[in-house]
Structure 1
Amino acid sequence: MNKTNQSIEEMLNLIVVISRQFGVLQKESSQCCGITTIQSHILYEIKCAPKLSLNDLAEKLNLDNSTISRHIHDLVKKDLVLRQSDSKDRRFVTLDLTEQGAALEKEISNMMFAWILDILSYLPKDKKESTFSELKLLSEAINKSKYCCQPPI
């Protein structure tokens, strides 16, 4: 195996391991609160963009509308999300967090924040900023890739 292929193999391994590790943190933070990881992502996205449409949410999470609708239905039943139809076009639905949904999202975000702070405490002080910059750069490259972020057909 040449050096380039070896580097790509190592990068693939790192991404898989980091994805798995972070996924476990996300799963633990949401399941302790009685929701799925996807539902946790939904609460976060609605917090970031109140009055988010169902279609925009599906696009942000790279999920189809029927999957999003099922999760929203569950979150509405749990009194975590408000689903509101537009007065002019009932097919257009916007989403907001209820008070209980906002509190739960904050609880999950606080857990994630604490975990990230703990993770950062193991990095050398002079590497924290560059780690953030490199992760941001990697995220931007992933988003530009023709293989990334295509909604399912």
Structure 2
Amino acid sequence: MENRGGHYLRELLEMLKKDLFVLEKTEASCCGMTLSQCHVILAIGKAGEVSLNELAGLLNLDSSTISRSVDNLFNKGLVSRKVDERDRRYVRISLTEMGKEVYGEIERNLADYFERVFSSIPEEKRHQVLESLKLLLDAVRENRCCEEGFLW
């Protein structure tokens, strides 16, 4: 495993990325929305209330892409818009009650899935897996090649 170093790490990460993408796509379609709409719901649910620019920053996407997703979610009754009282140029976006229900469903599905994944790891290796993932995350963040985009 260590003999192949970076190349093997890349292969494993590409496989993991692909599997997680399939998972996200499956979970999103279960809620009757696109993957990007699902990401928007999750980001708003975690943040509580955000501006369009804050949301774009959280998801590392441009404002026009986020705006389309928010418009569609607004039309479905899942998000609300409120003019910021301090600066009327900004609109604050939050989840409606129905949006909170969808957010909760997505969160529960993901929590259940990752609990099953974690439980399938031998108990004596679980701490090691979490520690290794944290080390990997730190190394990736420390060695970013650029602020936007990536090679994959």
TM normalised by structure 1 equals: 0.88
Aligned to 1:6: 4
Aligned to 2:84: 86
Contact 1:59 1:151 in 2 (8 A): no
Give the aligned CA root-mean-square deviation in angstroms.
Answer: 2.1
CA apart distance, 1:22: 1.0
SS at match of 2:94: strand
Q: Which runs of 5+ in 1 are unaligned?
A: none
Contact 1:64 1:151 in 2 (8 A): no
CA apart distance, 1:109: 1.1
1:143–1:81 distance in 2 versus 1, CA, 3 Å: farther
Higher RCO, Cα 8 Å, sep 6+: 1
Equivalent residue pairs, number: 150
1:27–1:94 distance in 2 versus 1, CA, 3 Å: same
- Residue 107 of structure 2 aligns with an amino acid whose one-letter code is S
1:9–1:122 distance in 2 versus 1, CA, 3 Å: same
4+ runs deviating over 4 angstroms: none
Q: Bigger CA drift: 102-111 or 126-135?
A: 126-135
Aligned to 1:109: 107
Q: Percent identity?
A: 35
Given the alignment, which residue of 116, 119, 130 partners 1:118?
116
Aligned to 1:42: 40
Q: Bigger CA drift: 142-151 or 93-102?
A: 142-151
Aligned to 2:63: 65
Quote the Cα distance in structure 2 between the aligned partners of 1:145 and 1:59: 20
TM normalised by structure 2 equals: 0.88
Aligned to 1:97: 95
Q: Which runs of 5+ in 2 are unaligned?
A: none
Aligned to 1:138: 136
